[in-house]
A and B are shown apart, each in its own frame.
Chain A
Amino acid sequence: MTSNPTEEAEELDLIRAAQAGRRSAFEALVRRHHVRIIQLCGSLLGNQAEAEDAAQEVFLKAYVSLTRFEGDAAFGTWLHRIAVNHCLDLLRKRARRKTDSLDELVEREGRAIEAADLAARLLATLPEEQRVAITLRETQGLNYEEIAKVMDCTVDSVKGRLKRARETLEKSLRHFLSAGGV
């Protein structure tokens, strides 16, 4: 998420202009960040079809609270934070609906499970904070400090969350492979 000083200064100008109500400035910010935010939503939701709708709402939320952005973190980090919260809300709603366990799915569909579906299901078994941390690191390429800012936690917590997420995913992946999947 790191960018060079010129880009940062440019971005700050855009943010100030957008905060002052200039429409084109906010539009430029959306244009700069939308691909990564859609990608993040898709990864967290495990569903590309929902990613754009979710990201659209993320940018609206950002717009509504734009005057609250004080520039203490990078704008991209701030957007990531809104996106993470929004997607967690969506996931909690979805969790109220019953879904098959992975084992049920393997039994029913055998080897035909698509890789993306497998990924979404295994990731869904992680506690929220681990899932978010590993997604921000591996999929979005954020460094420890950026993840800590997005998740409002210490760098040490980030390390712990990543470690536990990797241990669990490693185990579930092995379990799945030995059960005859993919």
Chain B
Amino acid sequence: MAEMHDSEKLQAYYDGELPPVERARMQEHIKSCADCRHAVERWREVARTLLEPPILRPSDRFVAAVMEDVDALERPVAERAAWLPGWLVPSLALAASVLIFYLSLPSSIVNFDSETMLLSGDETQLAMVLGSQPPRPDEVLGLALEQQP
């Protein structure tokens, strides 16, 4: 089929993103076009060699371990809540839970970059570390992307 190469469409085809009609048309094109066929084969090769998902057998203890951490987070917060004025409880509980979360992790696996965030002096980042405002995932992503060189 005499059709122009369209590398964006070809990639969409490879990624399974084309609607059925366009998909069929691209399939026809590929049959007769060695360039496009080879491009798809190379992408497949890259994926097979470098991006194959590992075969995983998560440890049987994984879910239990997460729940133990969750329980450890909740316990002190509940105890504290008993003797504080009601209006203070939510913010303190939150601050405490975030703090306890970081303290409760073994130092070798504390990965949240609190050090950098504290040193940066940026208000949002400080708030995230101090827990007055827990990070929304998109905020964290925003920071993550901002910080790259």
Interface check B123, CB cutoff 8 A = no
- Given A35-B56, A81-B141, A90-B111: A23 and B67 interface contact (C-beta under 8 Å): yes
Q: Provide the bound-state CA to CA distance between A152 and B8, in Å.
A: 21
- B2 near A: Cβ within 8 Å? no
**Cβ of B62 to closest chain A Cβ, rounded Å:** 6
The residue from B49, B134, B142 contacting A64, defined by CB atoms under 8 A apart: B134
Closest to A182 in B: B49
Cβ contact within 8 Å between B63 and A31 = yes
What 0/1 pattern do residues 107 to 149 of B give for CB contact below 8 A with A?
Answer: 0010111000000000000000000001111101110110110
How far apart are the CA atoms of A134 and B11 in the complex, in Å? 12
**10 residue pairs bridging A and B, Cβ less than 8 Å apart:** A27-B63, A38-B62, A39-B56, A48-B54, A54-B111, A82-B140, A119-B49, A119-B50, A138-B47, A173-B50
- Number of A-B residue pairs with CB-CB distance less than 8 Å in the complex they form: 149
- Whether A81 contacts B137 in the complex (CB less than 8 A), given A38-B62, A115-B49, A159-B11, comes out as yes
State how many residues of chain A have any CB contact under 8 Å with chain B: 63
> Quick check: B140 and A159 within 8 Å, CB to CB?
no
Q: Is A107 an interface residue (CB 8 A)?
A: no
- With A56-B69, A90-B111: A34-B134 Cβ-Cβ less than 8 Å: no
Report the separation of the CA atoms of residues A89 and B113 in the bound assembly, to the nearest whole angstrom.
7
Which range holds the interface residue count of chain B? Answer: 35 or more
Chain A residues with CB under 8 A of B81: none
Could you list which residues of chain B lie within 8 angstroms of chain A, going by C-beta atoms? 7-8, 11-12, 15-17, 42-43, 45-47, 49-54, 56, 58-59, 62-63, 65-67, 69-71, 73, 97-98, 101, 105, 109, 111-113, 134-138, 140-142, 144-145, 147-148
- Chain A residues whose CB sits within 8 angstroms of the CB of B113 once the complex forms: 89, 92-93
Give chain A interface residues in 40-74, CB to chain B under 8 Å: 42-43, 48, 51-57, 59-61, 63-65, 68
**Interface on A for B, CB 8 Å cutoff?**
23, 26-27, 30-31, 34-35, 38-39, 42-43, 48, 51-57, 59-61, 63-65, 68, 78, 81-82, 84-86, 88-90, 92-93, 115-116, 118-119, 122-123, 127-129, 134-135, 137-140, 143-144, 151-152, 159, 162-163, 166, 169-170, 173
